[in-house]
Amino acid sequence: MTQKLYEGKAKIVWATENPDEVAQQFKDDATAFDGKKKGQIVRKGVRNARISAILFRLLEENGIATQLLDQIFDDTLLCRKLEMFPVEVVVRNFAAGSICKRLGFEEGAPLKAPLLEFFLKDDSLSDPLITDAHIAELGLVSGGELDEIKRLALKVNSVLTGFFAERGVMLVDFKLEFGKDSAGNIVLGDEISPDTCRFWDANTKKKLDKDRFRRDLGDVEEAYAEMLKRVEK
CB < 8 Å & 24+ apart, contacts of 36-43: 37/213, 37/214, 39/213, 41/213, 41/220, 41/221, 41/224, 42/221, 43/221, 43/224, 43/225
> Rounded CA gap, 160 and 230, in Å?
13
Provide φ and ψ at 172, rounded to 5°.
-70, -55
- CATH 3.30.470.20 in the chain: give the residue spans: 83-219
- CATH 3.30.200.20 in the chain: give the residue spans: 3-80
CATH architecture of structural domain 83-219: 2-Layer Sandwich (3.30)
Does 35 score more than 80 pLDDT? no
pLDDT at residue number 84:
97
- Are the C-beta atoms of residues 170 and 164 closer than 8 Å to each other? yes
Query: Residues 117-151: pLDDT tens digits?
Result: 999 999 999 999 999 999 999 999 999 999 999 99
> Rounded CA gap, 3 and 83, in Å?
18
pLDDT at residue number 215:
97
pLDDT at residue number 36:
80
Query: Residues 161-192: pLDDT tens digits?
Result: 999 999 999 999 999 999 999 999 999 999 99
Does 111 score more than 80 pLDDT? yes
Share of the chain above pLDDT 90, in %: 97
What mean pLDDT value characterizes the chain? 97
Query: Residues 66-106: pLDDT tens digits?
Result: 999 999 999 999 999 999 999 999 999 999 999 999 999 99
Q: Where are the alpha helices (DSSP H) in the chain?
A: 44-61, 98-103, 132-138, 143-165, 211-214, 220-231
Torsional class of 174: left (φ above 0), alpha (ψ -120 to 50), beta (otherwise): beta
Chain-centre distance of CA 17, in angstroms?
Answer: 27
Does 2 score more than 80 pLDDT? no
- Fold (topology level) of 3-80: Phosphorylase Kinase; domain 1 (3.30.200)
